[in-house]
Structure formats: structure tokens, C-alpha cells
Amino acid sequence: MTNKQHKILILGPQGSGKGTQASILANKLGVPALSMGALLRDAATKGGVIGDEIARIQKMGALVPDEVAGEIFRARILESDATSGYIIDGYPRNEAQYDVYAALDTPTAVIVITVPHGVSVQRLHDRAMKEGRADDTVDVITRRLQIYHNDTQPMISHFTERGIVHDVDGVGTVEDVAARIEALFVEV
């Protein structure tokens, strides 16, 4: 679509489709899609003290320690496929992570996908039926959404001040939402 360097953050409440849309946009822009949740799930499968702790925290829907998330992000963007750009969903998610991120890199754009609460809950309920993800239970979904509203949403103001935030309506089909996001990156 473009040869410009892209370092794009995708944020939004749980079930807004940030992981789904990160993959689609990454394919279009020719950069890797990084998912902090998936990177952490990978780390959890390796076990050991840290892996077991990550698995425990993810299952209860809390954030893993900021220093763990920061170190995973730092290491991932040093890999050769990410040096000329990336799309990451789910990072940073609070003030402390913003500080770590800002010391490491500068985003070219931040996409915030918005959906009503009921849409989040319905999509995650549907995923629980199909995939059985350990953190897609009613109580844990509620906790994850609370963290988004209390910690992540206020943090986004740092990017808003720089004029790089694009709010995208996440209601509709995957293709509808992808088209809205793609429209942001079509060069005139």
C-alpha cells in the first residue's frame, strides 16, 4: 500500500477486534503483526517461574507486571522483521507502560477501535464457546474491561495530544472495520 515506515499501535476494549484488525492491516502494509497478549501466552507456555506467573495472571484477567511486558516488547522489536515497522495490539496499556514505550520508540499512528460494552461481551462469549480461552469467562471479561477503562483509556491522551489517534468504529463485520482502517492509510 505504501513504502512509508509504519509503527502502529492498535488499542481498544476487549473484543473490539484489535488482534483481528492488526493481522489484516499488517498483511496490507507488509509489516509484522505483534500481539502483546499472544507474546505473553507464548511466554507462558514455556513454563518456569515467569511463564507460570504469566499464565496465572492472564487467567485472572489482570495485567502482567509492566517490566515483563516492557522487556517482551523491547526484545520483539529488535528482531529483524520488525526493524522497519510493526503493528502491535495491546501495548502500552497504562502509564508505566507508556513511559517504557516512549523511551524505546515513537508510533506513527494509534488506532483506537471502539465498540459498545454489549458487543465486547457478546464476541468474547462467542469465542469462549468456540475456543475456550481461559480468560473469556464473565467475571474475567468484566475485570479486563475495567482495566481498559481505568488504565488504558486515560493513557491514550498522550497520543491524542500529538494528533496521531484515529478512532475507528468497531461495529460491523470484520471486513467493514478493516475497510475503515484501510481508508486511513490510503495515500492521497
Q: Are 98 and 154 within 8 A, CB to CB? A: no
Among 37, 53, 71, 137, binds ligand AP5 (CB under 6 A): 37
53-72 binders of ligand AP5 (CB under 6 A): 57-58, 61-64, 69
CB neighbour class for 45 (10 Å; exposed up to 12, middle 13-18, buried from 19): exposed
Decide: is 6 part of the binding site for ligand AP5 (CB under 6 A): no
Among 86, 91, 98, 159, binds ligand AP5 (CB under 6 A): 91
Q: Are 77 and 104 within 8 A, CB to CB? A: yes
For the bound state, the minimum distance from the C-beta of residue 154 to ligand AP5, rounded and expressed in Å, comes to 15
CB-nearer residue toward ligand AP5: 2 or 56: 56
User: Which residue matches cell numbers 484501510?
Assistant: 182
For the bound state, the minimum distance from the C-beta of residue 157 to ligand AP5, rounded and expressed in Å, comes to 17
Which amino acid is it at 147?
A: I
Among 15, 32, 85, 107, binds ligand AP5 (CB under 6 A): 15
CB-nearer residue toward ligand AP5: 4 or 154: 154
Q: Are 156 and 110 within 8 A, CB to CB? A: yes
Question: CB under 8 Å to 131, separation ≥6 — which residues?
Answer: none
Rounded to an integer, what is the distance from CA 7 to the centroid of its chain? 13
C-alpha cell at 68: 515483563
Question: CB under 8 Å to 104, separation ≥6 — which residues?
Answer: 70, 73, 74, 77
Decide: is 77 part of the binding site for ligand AP5 (CB under 6 A): no
Decide: is 45 part of the binding site for ligand AP5 (CB under 6 A): no
List of residues contacting ligand AP5 (CB under 6 A): 12, 14-20, 36-37, 40, 57-58, 61-64, 69, 89-91, 93, 97, 123-124, 127, 135, 144, 172-174, 177
